[in-house]
Structure 1
Amino acid sequence: MPLSGRGLTALLAAPLAAVLLVSCSSAEERPGSPTPTTAAAAPLADDGSRAEDAPAPEEGIPTPAPVQVRDAFAGLQATLGGSCASDCAYFLGRVHDELDRLDAAMKADPKGPGHFPEPIAWIEKLRTTLGGDRSFANLKKHETLLLGTRDRINTWMQSHPDDYR
């Protein structure tokens, strides 16, 4: 006997409803509370509490791993097509940030900071000139030095392809 449209829909919906019913009928879970499976598997501590219930040990905020030189250089190169034409504050701030990122990557590189003496020195000169002031007014005032530093580093890196490939 062929099923009608309504009967076929009911037949196909029944397994879905069963799956949803089973998933909804499990114990209420709260973030950080053990599920029945993990609670049984987790050993009890001497005081009767479970290890995952204990707060994490106090540690400093983890610092992200340094970016590789090639990735930092790619970020700096991405600024080459930009200009102050549309959003000058964003553009100059980005160039500044990319130079800082590249500086950190060069200093953390396994080859050592002595492998990148010129770019590190140019960034340090820029940093000294800016005096820690990364406001738009200060970046705009030193725009020529900022972009010149970026361009000098780009040229230097282009002549040292083993350092970023």
Structure 2
Amino acid sequence: MTAPSSPQRPVTVSVFSQRFSATPRGARLARHLAEHQLHTWGIPHGTETSETVAVVIAELAANAVTHGRVPGRDFELRLSLVTGSVRIEVSDTRSGPPRPPGPGGIPPPAPLEEAGRGFLLVDALAARWEVVDRDPPPGKTVRAEVDVPRWLSLVRDRTTGQGPIEGRVPGIPGLRGPVS
């Protein structure tokens, strides 16, 4: 005898993927398009999640352009909206892992240094991050995840595909979100 199975809600993963020129302009465009995509997914401009994701993308794209650039090759940004988080993946074609500051990496920057804080910011802002080999080779992918607060998962009903529900988020002045 088998137990009756309960219906499972479908899992929807939204994905945005785009290649950009390995230039400062390409890095800036990656950040702007990502912010627009998050807004389309129901994570409004100016929210903590949107701004955190934008800073992480800015740092990873800047690293791809500055340290991972191979002449004639682009870098790729891939965003995934998965249950509970936004996954950010920035891939470049330079082989070898980046060397973040700290043990086993490069020394941390001096207090008045203008560069060298990118991975420190990513580490502070992302819930998780890692470096993996790029698929397909050559190169590497830096993957980071920013957790999405519970209320944002309610902003968009993934099963009906409806857009954001208008209204105020209780307790957060000026923020638009689901109606309770």
Verify same fold: TM over 0.5: no
TM-score, length basis structure 2: 0.26
**More strand as a share of residues:** 2
**More helix as a share of residues:** 1
Name the larger-Rg structure. 1
